[in-house]
Amino acid sequence: MLAITPAAGARGPSLAAHTHVDTVAGTNCRVFPADNIWHAKVNKLPIDSHSRQWVDHIGRTADLHPDFGPSYGAQPVPYGIPVTVVSGSHPRVHVRFLYSSESDHVRYPLGADTKIEGGSNAGGDRHAVIVDKRTCRLYETWLTRKKHGHWTAGSGATWSLQSNALRHDHWTSADAAGLPILAGLLRWSEVKSAVVDHAIRFTAPHTSKRFLWPARHEAGDKASYAYPPMGARFRLKASFSEHGYSRRARVVIQAMKTYGLILADNGSPWYFQGDASRGWPSGLISELKTIPARDFVAVNEAGLMVSPNSGQARS
């Protein structure tokens, strides 16, 4: 695996966001500091030289697809990745990991109250995202199961939501890019309050065997840099017309113009992730499906990096 070194001279303007940072519902925990790269504004960053190739290889003629919303009975819970909030006294358990060498070996606050993506009997990625509201610590697991009284997962990672520290270089997390899932989830609570101040997590079917800061890991199948690497950031063009969209759809569109999307995992083209909330209106989901991929460009955010081992963005 090869990390991509920022291009020489690619400094860019100082664009890190230092405004309001939304908190996780039911807690006083911000989703990482205000100067974290997830909150950095990228609307004026230079376009990456590989932008056209990356958009083409993800799918220029496609439209974006919100990977969340009502399930219409197809599964027992809404589509999306759920967030579980626990107290500091919640019991912790040992977890056995498939990718043990790249997982954080701490005790995780998993239990009968843990919400798992797709439901407790689901297939698929089975992500679990848990926030300890006392310590503001984030725990995430992939392929989460309890079998014969023991918890297992494909991988697991934990972060302090009060810190900009990244994972170890070349380590995965609960996603392929080694990034926190929570940071990139579009949450119904923030759309409803008209404050979306972060980039949004999305997937692509074919990715490069490389990664860009702030990503820490790759899982690509293409040697060519003509394919997007994990961590690549895209923004919706300022010229994209919001005419005819609802107020809440415009909130999401503005976030895509200002903060953009971050490639975080392999999957269907231009699927972007949100929380598994029962509040998502079906009309809004339908509107978000009409945003065309051709109106996105990849940006070069190397100039925002303070340190390769930190998620802090320049201010």
Q: What pLDDT sits at residue 8? A: 33
In a domain, 313, yes or no: no
Q: How many Å from the N-terminal Cα to the C-terminal Cα in the chain?
A: 30
In a domain, 99, yes or no: yes
Helical segments of the chain, H only: 51-59, 181-184, 188-192, 247-258, 282-288
In a domain, 310, yes or no: no
In a domain, 2, yes or no: no
315: nearest Cα among 9, 21, 35: 35
Instruction: Say how far apart CA 272 and CA 48 lie, in whole Å.
Output: 21
Residue range of the domain that includes 292: 12-304
262: nearest Cα among 96, 32, 77: 32
Which amino acid, 4?
Answer: I
User: Vertex 28, ends 23 and 31: CA angle to 5°?
Assistant: 35
Q: What are phi and psi of 20, to 5 degrees?
A: -60, 135
Which are the contacts of 209, defined by CB distance < 8 A and separation ≥ 6?
A: 1, 2, 218, 220, 221, 222, 223
Q: What pLDDT sits at residue 250? A: 98
In a domain, 165, yes or no: yes
Instruction: Say how far apart CA 249 and CA 246 lie, in whole Å.
Output: 5
Q: What pLDDT sits at residue 20? A: 54
Q: What pLDDT sits at residue 21? A: 63
Instruction: Say how far apart CA 10 and CA 125 lie, in whole Å.
Output: 36
Radius of gyration for the alpha carbons in the chain, expressed in angstroms and rounded: 18
281: nearest Cα among 104, 69, 100, 99: 69
This prediction has a pTM of 0.93
| Tally of structural domains, the chain | 1
Q: What pLDDT sits at residue 120? A: 87
In a domain, 312, yes or no: no
Strand order in the sheet with 145-147: 95-97, 150-153, 145-147
In a domain, 225, yes or no: yes
> Please, what are the averages of pLDDT over each run of 10 residues along the chain (315 residues)?
39 41 90 97 98 98 98 95 98 98 98 96 95 98 95 98 98 98 97 96 98 98 97 98 98 98 98 98 98 98 97 93
In a domain, 6, yes or no: no
Taken in order 56, 62, 66, 71, is the CA torsion positive or negative?
A: negative
Q: What pLDDT sits at residue 315? A: 77
